[in-house]
């Protein structure tokens, strides 16, 4: 039986080598690599799955320590005179590039956070003419929305005007549904930015792209760099700059890496900033909603809260302040995963529901409801599910969301998000195969919670609760007996000032995020959607996902990128004879079609391993509902570990 490897919580600064499979992964950026911790997660049971995710999330907080002298790096001095490790990263064979690998707690990261904090303070002092804009795509955009609305609420509580705005690629509908195509358009990004900041004299622009990859964000950063009299751009992501995406962006003159390099240059004069600590590869390769999203929340909430506190106390922010805020998030990790067994029980339940073609529903209150919506919306592109498979609902619907475009309900069933919508339109069809998870704090309306829960209980016994409790509060017997299980997360009492209450709220959100990420990821692992730690049945709906699909094919077949891309195109266009016309069109043409198709990557995998026709590959894939089992059958032992022969085969193909 598979036994998870015990990892030390504080580990050495990443030797990129240990984040790489021999030969194959060196060229991939950290955020796309496969994490050695979770490499066998597809075979793990629920308890093991949660344990592996816990270890993987712990990497976010890893510090550099003395053990790193044993690794292939060497020390150097930084701008802040902090000794940092230089390691060889992202190099192809024969190439060597020494770069510093920053971690969350590195002095240079703290220094940049302090610099940005000062800019935030300046904006807060002049709300009429200034604005802080948070922007992102997919989950990064959803977090931009959540952060901007939360900090405006914080200001409102102090009777101050809003100073924050958010941008999400694809507009507000992308908060609830996946709109990956807009992510590829730098012009759309710049246009959206211009609209949001019209009339402002000073703008702090925070562009989030976990993989340093989204063209939408590149367009916005470039626009800021060209207008530095008004804009101070900040890039948040989790790859070193030399691993930023360097692929030509359709209809544009720059790559993301070129923009990031320009940012680096301007950072010398403190008019642009990059916050890009490495937090290690994702538990499911490339799934930046997981660690990337969590680290985004930790970094931005810490620095924004510190700035607000400094403004109200009229005191300078120190590196220690920032470190203290961030360290409290490390405790959240401990508190959350101390409930590992209960989380595992929910993962098991979710897996059982999904295997029986049942559904998962999150019924949340306030921003915990938003966390449910965020987790659910990302399941569509990540696991190729239907929107109805995992859904989130929030009390008071759009009123509670406070999104810019208001009520979107009329756009279709996937935009129905209130508890009333759930009761009226979903509950009648809920069956015992479905799992329902309530998410609330003991300060929410417990009578309403009990009433709703009792109605759900009549439909399914699989009714669970995640409740956030402050020390001294207890979940009542009534609540306990309404749910099949209640996972109670206990948080210390906050005695300190206003910002402290927000910190607690943010931490409950992060804790909920970790639990829900485990439930939806674990559930889909148990359903057989993951192979090793790769989502092999991903939707190929934008250029990043197209490249990721090619990399997955490479990883499992050891064939050259060209051969893999050809197989992918054959699968997308359902043809055995690729015309030059197809080969030569832009990637966006491929992804527009691929977004409408199912199982294109598994089909390409069978094509590559069986050397058969597309029709045969498709029928083989469709014959078995569990993709992982089919793939496993074709990728027999040698495919699991690259042999010297296979590497040779790839080299030959590359030289052809
Ligand atoms: O392309 C879809 C997606 O991968 C989402 O899953 C993710 O949340 C989003 O892109 C943003 O990615 P990044 O933050 O790396 O730009």
CA of residue 282 to ligand 1 center, whole Å: 12
Q: How far apart (Å, rounded) are the C-alpha atoms in residues 435 and 49?
A: 19
Q: Say yes or no: CB of residue 550 within 6 Å of ligand 1.
A: no
Summarised one tens digit per residue, pLDDT across range 299-329 is 999 999 999 999 988 888 899 989 998 999 9
Nearest atom in ligand 1 to the alpha carbon of residue 286 is 4
Higher pLDDT pick, 275 / 324: 275
Q: What is the mean pLDDT of residues 498-513?
A: 93
Say yes or no to pLDDT of 655 above 90: no
Which residues, at least 6 apart from 451, have a Cβ–Cβ distance to it below 8 Å? none
CA of residue 71 to ligand 1 center, whole Å: 31
Summarised one tens digit per residue, pLDDT across range 358-404 is 999 999 999 999 999 999 999 988 888 889 999 999 999 999 999 99
Residue 623: per-residue pLDDT = 82
Q: How far apart (Å, rounded) are the C-alpha atoms in residues 135 and 36?
A: 31
Nearest atom in ligand 1 to the alpha carbon of residue 31 is 15
Residue 3: per-residue pLDDT = 33
Q: What is the mean pLDDT of residues 614-625?
A: 88
Q: Say yes or no: CB of residue 375 within 6 Å of ligand 1.
A: no
CA of residue 89 to ligand 1 center, whole Å: 22
Q: What is the mean pLDDT of residues 542-548?
A: 94
Say yes or no to pLDDT of 95 above 90: no
Residue 22: per-residue pLDDT = 52
Residue 77: per-residue pLDDT = 27
Going by alpha carbons, the residue nearest to atom 3 of ligand 1 is 138
Higher pLDDT pick, 324 / 208: 208
Q: Out of 3-7, 148-152, 483-487, which region has the weakest mean confidence (pLDDT)?
A: 3-7
Nearest atom in ligand 1 to the alpha carbon of residue 183 is 1
Going by alpha carbons, the residue nearest to atom 7 of ligand 1 is 138
Q: Say yes or no: CB of residue 209 within 6 Å of ligand 1.
A: yes
Q: What percent of the chain has pLDDT over 90?
A: 76
Closest-CA residue to 90 (of 31, 136, 38):
31
Say yes or no to pLDDT of 297 above 50: yes
Q: What is the ipTM of this complex?
A: 0.97
CA of residue 523 to ligand 1 center, whole Å: 21
Q: How far apart (Å, rounded) are the C-alpha atoms in residues 465 and 475?
A: 11
Tokens linked to 587: 């990637």
Residue 647: per-residue pLDDT = 40
Q: Residue 317: is it exposed, middle or buried by C-beta count within 10 angstroms (0-12/13-18/19+)?
A: buried
Going by alpha carbons, the residue nearest to atom 5 of ligand 1 is 138
Q: Say yes or no: CB of residue 139 within 6 Å of ligand 1.
A: yes
Q: Give, as one character, the DSSP assignment of residue 402.
A: T
Q: Say yes or no: CB of residue 397 within 6 Å of ligand 1.
A: no
Q: Say yes or no: CB of residue 288 within 6 Å of ligand 1.
A: yes
pLDDT confidence of 634, banded at 50, 70, 90?
A: confident
**Mean pLDDT over all residues of the chain?**
88
| Strands of 463-470's sheet in order across | 390-394, 360-364, 435-441, 463-470, 485-491
CA of residue 544 to ligand 1 center, whole Å: 8
Ligand 1 mutation target, pool 534, 544, 546, most atoms within 8 A of CB = 544
Tokens linked to 320: 């220690």
Residue 178: per-residue pLDDT = 86
Going by alpha carbons, the residue nearest to atom 10 of ligand 1 is 138
For residue 543, the SS3 value is: helix
Say yes or no to pLDDT of 7 above 60: no
CA of residue 435 to ligand 1 center, whole Å: 27
CA of residue 139 to ligand 1 center, whole Å: 6
pLDDT confidence of 656, banded at 50, 70, 90?
A: very low
Going by alpha carbons, the residue nearest to atom 1 of ligand 1 is 180
Residue whose tokens read 């495919």: 639
CA of residue 292 to ligand 1 center, whole Å: 9
pLDDT confidence of 272, banded at 50, 70, 90?
A: very high
Q: What is the mean pLDDT of residues 173-195?
A: 94
Q: How far apart (Å, rounded) are the C-alpha atoms in residues 328 and 603?
A: 46
Residue 18: per-residue pLDDT = 59
Q: Say yes or no: CB of residue 339 within 6 Å of ligand 1.
A: no
Q: What is the mean pLDDT of residues 195-204?
A: 96
CA of residue 30 to ligand 1 center, whole Å: 14
Q: How far apart (Å, rounded) are the C-alpha atoms in residues 261 and 244?
A: 9
End-to-end CA distance of the chain: 42
CA of residue 375 to ligand 1 center, whole Å: 13
The alpha carbon of 554 is separated from its chain's Cα centroid by a whole number of angstroms, namely: 23
CA of residue 186 to ligand 1 center, whole Å: 15
Alpha helices (H) along 268-365: 291-313, 319-337, 340-355
Residue 10: per-residue pLDDT = 29
Number of neighbouring beta carbons within 10 Å of residue 603: 28
Q: How far apart (Å, rounded) are the C-alpha atoms in residues 495 and 202?
A: 35
Q: Say yes or no: CB of residue 137 within 6 Å of ligand 1.
A: yes
Which residues, at least 6 apart from 146, have a Cβ–Cβ distance to it below 8 Å? 367, 370, 374, 509
Is residue 90 within 8 A of residue 29, CB to CB? The reply is: yes
Say yes or no to pLDDT of 89 above 90: no
Say yes or no to pLDDT of 493 above 90: no
| Strands of 231-236's sheet in order across | 164-168, 130-136, 202-208, 231-236, 273-275
Residue 627: per-residue pLDDT = 77
Q: Say yes or no: CB of residue 213 within 6 Å of ligand 1.
A: yes
Say yes or no to pLDDT of 81 above 70: no
CA of residue 81 to ligand 1 center, whole Å: 34
* Three-state secondary structure readout of 109-158: HHHHHHHHHHHHHHHHHCCCCEEEEEEECCHHHHHHHHHHHHHHHHHHHC
Which CA distances in Å does 106 have to 100, 167, 302, 521, 652?
11, 29, 15, 30, 42
Higher pLDDT pick, 188 / 83: 188
Going by alpha carbons, the residue nearest to atom 16 of ligand 1 is 209
Residue 611: per-residue pLDDT = 86
pLDDT confidence of 27, banded at 50, 70, 90?
A: confident
CA of residue 288 to ligand 1 center, whole Å: 6
Residue 90: per-residue pLDDT = 39
Say yes or no to pLDDT of 65 above 70: no
Say yes or no to pLDDT of 437 above 90: yes
Tokens linked to 259: 């923009």
Ligand 1 mutation target, pool 177, 278, 289, 290, most atoms within 8 A of CB = 289
CA of residue 212 to ligand 1 center, whole Å: 10
Q: How far apart (Å, rounded) are the C-alpha atoms in residues 15 and 19?
A: 7
Summarised one tens digit per residue, pLDDT across range 131-174 is 999 999 999 999 999 999 999 999 999 999 999 999 999 999 99
Phi and psi at 264, nearest 5°, equal -60, -45
Nearest atom in ligand 1 to the alpha carbon of residue 292 is 14
CA of residue 475 to ligand 1 center, whole Å: 37
Using only C-alpha atoms, what is the Rg of the chain?
24
Q: Say yes or no: CB of residue 152 within 6 Å of ligand 1.
A: no
Is residue 461 within 8 A of residue 486, CB to CB? The reply is: no
């Amino acid at each position: 039986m598979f036994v998870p490897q015990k990892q030390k919580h504080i580990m050495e600064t990443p030797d990129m080598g240990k984040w790489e499979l021999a030969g194959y992964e060196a060229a991939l950026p950290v955020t796309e690599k496969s994490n050695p911790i979770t490499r066998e997660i597809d075979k793990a049971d629920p308890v093991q799955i949660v344990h592996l995710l816990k270890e993987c999330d712990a990497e976010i907080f890893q510090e550099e320590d003395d053990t790193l002298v044993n690794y292939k790096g060497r020390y150097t001095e930084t701008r802040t005179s902090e000794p940092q490790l230089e390691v060889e990263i992202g190099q192809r064979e024969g190439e060597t590039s020494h770069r510093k690998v920053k971690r969350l707690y590195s002095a240079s990261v703290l220094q940049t956070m302090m610099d940005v904090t000062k800019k935030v303070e300046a904006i807060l002092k002049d709300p009429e003419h200034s604005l802080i804009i948070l922007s992102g795509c997919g989950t990064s955009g959803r977090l931009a929305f959540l952060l901007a609305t939360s900090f405006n609420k914080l200001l409102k509580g102090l009777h101050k005007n809003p100073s924050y705005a958010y941008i999400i690629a694809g507009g507000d509908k992308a908060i609830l549904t996946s709109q990956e195509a807009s992510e590829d358009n730098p012009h759309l990004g710049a246009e959206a930015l211009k609209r949001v900041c019209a009339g402002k004299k000073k703008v702090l622009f925070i562009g989030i792209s976990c993989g340093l990859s989204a063209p939408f964000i590149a367009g916005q950063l470039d626009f800021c760099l060209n207008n530095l009299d008004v804009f101070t751009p900040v890039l948040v992501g989790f790859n070193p700059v030399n691993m930023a995406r360097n692929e030509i962006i359709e209809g544009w003159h720059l790559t993301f890496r070129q923009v990031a390099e320009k940012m680096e240059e301007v950072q010398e004069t403190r008019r642009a900033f990059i916050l890009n600590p490495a937090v290690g590869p994702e538990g499911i390769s490339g799934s930046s909603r997981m660690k990337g999203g969590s680290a985004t929340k930790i970094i931005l909430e810490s620095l924004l809260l510190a700035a607000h506190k400094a403004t109200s106390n009229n005191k300078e922010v120190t590196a220690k302040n920032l470190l203290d805020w961030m360290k409290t998030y490390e405790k959240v990790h401990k508190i959350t995963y101390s409930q590992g067994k209960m989380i595992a029980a929910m993962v098991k339940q979710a897996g059982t529901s999904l295997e029986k073609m049942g559904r998962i529903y999150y019924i949340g209150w306030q921003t915990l409801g938003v966390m449910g919506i965020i987790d659910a919306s990302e399941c569509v592109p990540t696991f190729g599910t239907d929107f109805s498979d995992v859904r989130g609902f929030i009390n008071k619907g759009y009123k509670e969301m406070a999104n810019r475009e208001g009520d979107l309900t009329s756009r279709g069933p996937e935009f129905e998000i209130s508890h009333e919508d759930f009761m009226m339109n979903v509950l009648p069809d809920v069956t015992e195969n479905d799992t329902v998870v309530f998410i609330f704090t003991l300060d929410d309306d417990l009578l309403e919670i009990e009433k709703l829960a009792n109605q759900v209980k009549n439909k399914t016994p699989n009714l669970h609760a995640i409740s956030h409790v402050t020390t001294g509060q207890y979940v009542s017997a009534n609540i306990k007996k309404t749910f099949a299980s209640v996972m109670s997360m206990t948080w210390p009492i906050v005695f300190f000032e206003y910002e402290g209450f927000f910190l607690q709220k943010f931490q409950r959100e992060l804790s909920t995020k970790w639990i829900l990420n485990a439930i939806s990821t674990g559930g889909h692992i148990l359903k057989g959607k993951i192979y090793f730690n790769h989502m092999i049945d991903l939707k190929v709906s934008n250029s990043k996902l197209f490249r990721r699909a090619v990399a997955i094919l490479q990883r499992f077949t050891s064939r050259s990128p060209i051969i893999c891309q050809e197989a992918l195109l054959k699968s997308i266009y359902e043809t055995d004879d690729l015309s030059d016309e197809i080969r030569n069109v832009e990637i966006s043409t491929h992804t527009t079609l691929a977004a409408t198709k199912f199982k294109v990557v598994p089909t390409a995998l069978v094509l590559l391993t069986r050397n058969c026709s597309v029709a045969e590959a498709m029928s083989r894939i469709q014959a078995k509902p569990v993709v992982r089992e089919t793939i496993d059958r074709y990728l027999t032992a040698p495919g699991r570990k690259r042999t010297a022969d296979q590497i040779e085969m790839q080299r030959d193909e590359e030289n052809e």
